[in-house]
Amino acid sequence: MHVKKLFLHLTFAIFFSFALTSCKAQTPPAYKVPIKPISEYQQNIETVTNALCGKQIVLLGENGFHGDGKTIAYKSDLVKSLVKKCDFNAVFFESSFYDFQAISMKADNQETITPEMVASSMGWIRNQYQEIFPLILFLYEGILSGELTVGGIDDQPGSRGSFYALEQMIIELTDPLPSDRQERCKTLLKQLIWSSHPKTSPYNYENRARTKLCLREIRAEFGNMPEHSIKQMEMTSNLDRFMDRDFTSTEVSVYQRDYSMFLNLEWLIQQAPQNSKFIVWTANSHAAKNTSISSVEGKNLGAYVRKKYGDKSYALGFSAAGGTYMWGSTKTKIIPQAPTNSLEAKALSTENGEIAFINARQMVALGKIPSSVFGHKFRESNWHTIFDGIVIFREEQPPKKIAP
């Protein structure tokens, strides 16, 4: 044996023998390892994670103005918790179907994907905020490792800063067309996506018909190209549905968009690996399993999900008892203070801290009471019929913008 190793062995043996002898002679002092107390926020995250863990598909809502900073930060942390602890492996956003599919095609072709592409696909209404930046990197790493599937469910193509739908998609979709149709269809699609129809040729029924003809021709050409991506075929279907809502009432347009999001969700689920578990990042009005209180019953995304998946799904709402939120890109608005008889006040009355979670069983016990879960405006309802659980902040605040 090497001399140095022999010395170490002998030293350890002598030390161990001395330790045993010392233990017999006296009782060693009791040393306590300090345990860092879990924060109220983290405890809430763990409680909600446990409530959602056994579900196949969970819908995470938020104020419809998308300007609640604490909610954005919480949802970002909750998504990571569900992925790490509960094996959720797909995250879909109420954002560009087109840009996320472009990322998917790049992954299929082993092309470069960047965090900026992921941020762009998530949409300008959320990717400019500090609270979501860690999630962007988390999703990016999951995409590169192949452990996460990401997607968008919104058929609206004109998102500000979109890396794909605003320019490259138009080129790729029209590329298979004969040259005499290619330029014309490029122009029509760009006018549609950019809302840039000239005054001499405004968007009307005839213009829509010409644009839809382009999409039919594109699909016909793609049908003759078996190597072509089914994902781009689905993009043309999304553009069709987007145009179908034109010249309809606001109410009809809203619930037709929800149905289109459900169709995209179903399509994405079909493309995902078997036994996948899905997270949908959306607004309260889309996540709710029933929105009869504010719109047509059974016509929103969450209602379609509940009808299809039943108890395998979970609708999580978010609200606040006060504070402020961002409206638009710069304006801050005040959230009305929750009255004592409201869901928000009652949920927080049993808590000493800044956050509470109330589940369906607890909401049943409260009965019909007011809540501002939809747009920070108070309405009365039996809230257990609308959400399976609601996270409530004592005070909300606007998100912080990432410095340019």
Indicate the pairing of strand 368-371 with strand 379-382. Answer: antiparallel
**266 in Cβ contact with 45 (< 8 Å):** no
* Residue 184 located in a structural domain: no
Structure tokens at 387: 């959400």
- Residue 359, domain CATH: 3.40.50.11550
Measured distance CA(297)–CA(308) in Å, rounded: 15
* Residue 341 located in a structural domain: yes
Res 12: pLDDT: 39
Measured distance CA(90)–CA(269) in Å, rounded: 9
* Residue 7 located in a structural domain: no
* Residue 138 located in a structural domain: yes
**225 in Cβ contact with 183 (< 8 Å):** no
Residue span of the structural domain in which 106 resides: 42-156+249-393
**149 in Cβ contact with 272 (< 8 Å):** yes
Q: CA–CA distance from 391 to each of 39, 43, 49, 356, 361 (Å)?
A: 16, 12, 12, 6, 14
- Tokens 């078997």 correspond to 274
Res 187: pLDDT: 97
Res 113: pLDDT: 98
Q: Is 64 exposed, middle or buried (0-12, 13-18, 19+ CB in 10 A)?
A: middle
**265 in Cβ contact with 305 (< 8 Å):** yes
* Residue 209 located in a structural domain: no
* Residue 19 located in a structural domain: no
Measured distance CA(364)–CA(375) in Å, rounded: 22
Mean pLDDT, consecutive 10-residue stretches, the chain (404 aa), reads: 40 39 43 61 97 99 94 98 98 98 94 97 92 97 97 95 96 95 97 94 95 96 78 96 96 94 98 96 96 74 97 98 92 96 94 90 98 95 97 97 80
Number of domains in the chain: 1
Res 30: pLDDT: 44
Res 19: pLDDT: 40
* Residue 322 located in a structural domain: yes
Res 5: pLDDT: 41
Q: Residue 224: what residue type?
A: N
Measured distance CA(256)–CA(236) in Å, rounded: 17
| Residue burial 218-253, b: 16+ Cβ < 10 Å; e: rest | bbebbeeeeeebebbebbbbbbbbbbbbeeeeeeee
